A and B are shown apart, each in its own frame.
Chain A
Amino acid sequence: MNPALERRLRRHRSRVVVRAWEYRQRRHARGAWFRLRRVLTDAAAAYVVSPADTRQLIDEGCCPELVGQEFDPPKVIVFAPAERVARIAHARTVPVRLGGELLVAEHLVLVPFVAREPVDPRTSRSG
């Protein structure tokens, strides 16, 4: 067999093994990154806010995404409609991607692409 093709085949098979392992890990700590990405995918925009702002939104009925608690330090991540976010005085927009600004933020408000259905935190898919 051609050595180059053999190397590519070996690399492919190694990745398949790793992928299967990652799939088995999906409900555990390793899956936290997927769960975070999944939440962010639904966000049209992201804002860094203060602890008081997220507390207020939760009091108003916004559910914190459970995946935020899987990180250390924990993140408080809530979805809120754009018109509600517009009333937060010091909300600072950050790019919706796994960049530094978003990853260091501990209090995030996300604006959804489509209105989200009310979520029971006990059955949230991010849990």
Chain B
Amino acid sequence: MSVGFRERLLATIRAARPVLEVPDVLIVGSEVPNLLEPAAAATLVVSQDLDVGVPIERHAAVKRRLADLAEFQPSADEPSVWLPREPDLLEVNFLGIDASQAPAEAYVLDDDELPLLVFGALSLLSPGAEIELAGTRVRLPRSAGLLLEKLVTDRTGEKGERDLLVALGVLMTATPADLDEVEAMFLGLSPELRHVVCSNLTILSLLEGRPGMPDPGPRRGDVAALLRRLERGAQVEP
């Protein structure tokens, strides 16, 4: 499954190149751990779409490139989602990033052509590695911010559990320096959001493995260690 998925992911990146190469645009969400694996192995399959983070200052620049997205068309129901015209590509889901926004807030950047839901949690993301894939330069967020973004975002039901598996994927590819950064950023969160992070780590630790997705079981020790470290650093009380 993962080989086929990797091909679809890379083909989607190639097809979305016009917008992905706009400066400061980031790939965010579930595909980042796949792209951070060696040679973008894409074995950490959690969902079948490509989330594209658009800083609101770049909204106009991205809009100018939409006409070049020949292999996609906007969804009639939700124009921030662009659907592939062929089944061998993934959906592209545009999200707004507003660095000045508080993590718990959200708003809609209204626009006839490309409206964006701007989630405050995405303000935790900052540009990280730029890599070349499928002939396209793509910018990924720093792992620490992505991990925390996944852990502060409200999680409910099936979608919530899959999103926590994205956090697991990030943790699986994180370096010691990334974890230092996670701890530093965690200390800057409000007490309520720190609690949410800790609560989501406990949920992640107790999730049952799912076929074809990252398995939390073998990584439970890493999750517990991160939780202890964050609690110690912030003197969090449950």
State the A residues within 8 Å of B (CB): 1-2, 4-6, 8-9, 12-13, 15-16, 19-20, 23, 26, 31, 34-35, 37-38, 40-42, 44, 95-99, 113-114, 125-126
Contacts of A12 in B (CB 8 A): 106, 119, 154
Whether B238 and A34, one on each chain, are in contact in the complex, defined by CB atoms closer than 8 angstroms, is: yes
Question: Residues 102-114 of chain B: 1 if any A CB is under 8 Å from the residue's CB, otherwise 0?
Answer: 0011111010000
B220→A16 contact, CB < 8 A: no
Q: Whole-angstrom distance between the alpha carbons of A37 and B155 in the complex?
A: 16
Complex Cα–Cα for A13 and B107 (A): 9
B residues less than 8 Å from A5 (CB atoms): 78, 80, 108, 115, 117
Query: Known interface pairs A20-B192, A26-B238, A34-B238. Does A1 touch B108 (Cβ–Cβ under 8 Å)?
Result: yes
Which of chain A's residues have a CB closer than 8 A to the CB of B225? 113-114
Inter-chain CB contacts under 8 Å: number: 89
22 contacts between A and B (CB under 8 A): A2-B78, A8-B117, A9-B107, A12-B106, A12-B119, A16-B104, A16-B105, A16-B106, A19-B154, A23-B192, A26-B195, A38-B198, A41-B202, A41-B220, A42-B224, A95-B208, A96-B205, A96-B220, A97-B206, A113-B221, A113-B225, A126-B238
Partner of B117, one of A9, A26, A37, A42: A9
Partner of A41, one of B77, B108, B205: B205
Mark B80-124 against chain A: 1 for CB-CB distance below 8 A, else 0. 100000000000000000000000111110100001010100000
Interface of chain B residues 195 through 238 with chain A (CB within 8 A): 195-196, 198-199, 201-203, 205-208, 220-221, 223-225, 227-228, 237-238
Q: What residues on B are CB-neighbors of A41 within 8 Å?
A: 201-202, 205-206, 220, 223-224, 227
User: From residue 11 to 56 of chain B, which have CB atoms closer than 8 A to chain A?
Assistant: none
* Shortest Cβ distance from residue A124 to the other chain B in the assembled complex, whole angstroms: 11
Question: Which residues on B are within 8 Å of A, measured CB to CB?
Answer: 77-80, 104-108, 110, 115, 117, 119, 154, 156, 192, 195-196, 198-199, 201-203, 205-208, 220-221, 223-225, 227-228, 237-238
- 19 additional A-B pairs beyond A37-B205, A96-B206, beta carbons within 8 Å, are A2-B78, A2-B80, A4-B77, A12-B119, A15-B154, A16-B154, A19-B192, A23-B192, A23-B195, A26-B195, A37-B199, A37-B202, A38-B227, A44-B220, A95-B208, A96-B220, A97-B208, A113-B224, A125-B238
Tell whether, in the assembled complex, residue A2 and residue B115 are in contact, meaning their CB atoms are under 8 Å apart: yes
Interface centre among B105, B110, B196, B224 (most CB of A within 10 A): B224
- Closest-by-CB residue of A relative to B190 is A23
Q: Which residues of B contact A34 (CB under 8 A)?
A: 199, 202, 238
- Complex CA gap A107/B140 in Å reads 47
Residues in A with CB closer than 8 Å to B238 are 26, 31, 34-35, 38, 125-126
Q: Closest Cβ of chain B: how far from A47's Cβ, in Å?
A: 16
Are B206 and A2 in touch, CB under 8 angstroms?
Answer: no
Provide the residues of chain A in CB contact with B195, threshold 8 Å: 23, 26
